[in-house]
Amino acid sequence: MTQASTELQELIAEMEQRRRKVEAGGGPQRQAKQREGGKLTARERIETLLDPGSFLELSTFVEHGRNRLMDSVEAPGEGVVTGRGTIHGRQVFVFSQDFTVLGGSLGKMNAAKVTKVMDLAAKTGCPVIGLNDSAGARIQEGVDSLSGYGEIFYRNAIYSGSVPQISAILGPCAGGAVYSPALTDFVVMSQGTSYMFITGPEVIKSVTREEVTFDGLGGADVHTRKSGVAHLSYEGDEAVLAGIRDLLTYLPQNAREEVPAQPCADPADRPNPRLLEIVTPDQRRPYDMHAVIGELVDEGSFLEIQPNWAKNMVCGFARLDGRSVGIVANNPKVMAGTLNIDASDKAARFIRTCDCYNIPILTLVDVTGFLPGVAQEHAGIIRHGAKMLYAYAEATVPKITLITRKSYGGAYLAMNSRDMGADVVYAWPTAAVAVMGAEGAANIVYRREIGKSENPEATRAAKIAEYRETFDNPYVAAAKGYIDDVIPMEDTRRRLVQTFEMLRGKEEARPYKKHGNIPL
Ligand code: HXC
């Protein structure tokens, strides 16, 4: 063996030894603790998320920013693993925080690894996925760690709507650390092993005397049912990562591209006779809008977003003849499908997500109106409802509205009527478009007549029937062109596929502006 090759071998051995040290993270004991807690390690998560063998690691040998408190501290890999890989053959960038290294805490160089992949994602037009498991700002690095967060938040905001950003929450997410996930498009939590909060139970106890557990304060249940902070949750890391792989099939690589179509075995012209059983003309008989959606979309393709929060509004992705669509629908089974603050926020956000990623929107309408109540008014239903109006009007993707039954008052407009920018509006024969329901309308318009009548109840019933006959149907709106067609229910899937096909390539310009000013 020559001198040169021995030297080279030594260099290679050093590289491998250094790499092995980085790959070992916080060491076997801390990794065992991680697994005992039902969690995968940072590298196992990446392997599980990406297509096999596709991971290319970057910034492997980055070390922490030195200071007096950190000089003697070892942090292999700087507490985060970063790089690129593919999911279903499409490139994504990923960072995976390593809780076994200083609790996955975020220092300046840890943040530099993260921002490196965020920048590459933006430059190459690819999604970025953050696997969060971190104790927050690295206390020993002081303001440097705060600055690191700032650099990440800044990129979360400026790349928002340019490339999809998805956050998995797979462990603690405390303090300011929750704001990076909150700035991304989707937050997906693991049940029982993750939590998100601004201030923890101990601080809360000392300030407000409230006693609460980590899970009760910011676990997956809280954020998918009460706060609306998280969009999806699954049991265990594997399920979360599989969920993210699935979610990506509905999204494009970036704002300039369309979502690739998937092969579809479900016939585009499949008739939908079951709809006639689900939706009856009796306006007071509730039905579950999920059943309608399931009947219309490609079999098994509906991925509901925020399924357990604001259940009166159903939002989710699906495919129609293999093409991704966003569905926004009232659910008459919950609170009669009325619009309240949470439902408005949920829908507005989802509409904007669809619009920025070129995903056409199907709106299914069965709504009596906004939820009346002092609490709603005082909490700002006007401001929140306005978000929906704004989001629909702003969206330039193809928009189809289908009125399945009631569409009354302000909610008629908030659910993307013709005037609010729907490209095509369909109604079923069961539809009723009016300012309000027949009972309410008759009581207001004919109050004097009913009051003076010898038999007020009979007069009231007659007036209600008269009003219903005149307005409680789709034909008044269809006659004025507000509805493009009243369609046979069993032929709906075929028509939706054809109409979205018709709208493909739609372009709509907006007047110059720096950006709009959506009511927040
Ligand atoms: C540096 C930290 C750390 C931190 C934990 N560690 N938090 N190191 N900075 N913020 C270290 C621990 O010393 C320990 O090191 C290892 O990580 C694991 O921590 P444990 O406490 O043993 O783990 P566990 O019992 O599972 O508890 C996890 C935890 C707890 C609940 C997250 O560590 C915790 O409360 N940490 C502090 C959280 C926090 O207050 N962060 C700052 C938030 S403020 P060893 O060597 O023993 O393994 C913030 C501001 C951001 O983030 C502002 C942006 C706007």
The best mutation among 72, 110, 133, 139 to test binding of ligand 1, ranked by most ligand atoms within 8 Å of the C-beta, falls on: 139
Instruction: Verify whether ligand 1 is closer than 6 Å to residue 137 (CB atom).
Output: yes
In the chain, CATH 3.90.226.10 sits at: 40-248, 275-436+473-500
**What pLDDT is recorded for position 65?**
86
**What pLDDT is recorded for position 2?**
61
**Which residues are CB-neighbours of 233 under 8 A, at least 6 positions away?**
188, 189, 190, 191, 220, 221, 223, 224, 240
pLDDT digits (tens, 9 = 90+) for 251-307: 999 999 999 999 999 999 999 999 999 999 888 889 999 999 999 999 999 999 999
Cα 56 to ligand 1 centroid, rounded to whole Å: 29
Tell which CATH architecture fits domain 275-436+473-500.
Answer: Alpha-Beta Complex (3.90)
Ligand 1: residue whose CA is nearest its atom 47? 102
Catalytic residue ranges:
175-176, 410-411
3-class state of residue 108 by DSSP: helix
Cα 71 to ligand 1 centroid, rounded to whole Å: 18
**Which atom of ligand 1 lies at the shortest distance from residue 26's CA?**
48
Instruction: Verify whether ligand 1 is closer than 6 Å to residue 156 (CB atom).
Output: no
Cα 117 to ligand 1 centroid, rounded to whole Å: 24
Q: Which two tokens stand for residue 347?
A: 């829908």
Cα 30 to ligand 1 centroid, rounded to whole Å: 14
pLDDT digits (tens, 9 = 90+) for 471-500: 889 999 999 999 999 999 999 999 999 999
Task: Give the closest residue to 48 by CA, choosing from 116, 120, 129, 154.
Answer: 129
Q: Above 60 in pLDDT, residue 115?
A: yes
**Cβ count near 92 (within 10 Å):** 27
Task: Give the closest residue to 17 by CA, choosing from 79, 76, 57.
Answer: 76
pLDDT digits (tens, 9 = 90+) for 118-150: 999 999 999 999 999 999 999 999 999 999 999
d(CA 50, CA 55): 7
pLDDT digits (tens, 9 = 90+) for 76-108: 999 999 999 999 999 999 999 999 999 999 999
Q: Which of the following CATH numbers is that of domain 40-248: 3.90.226.10, 3.40.50.300, 3.20.20.70, 3.30.1050.10?
A: 3.90.226.10
ipTM: 0.97
Ligand 1: residue whose CA is nearest its atom 10? 138
Element (H, E) at 105: none
195 bridge partner residues: 172
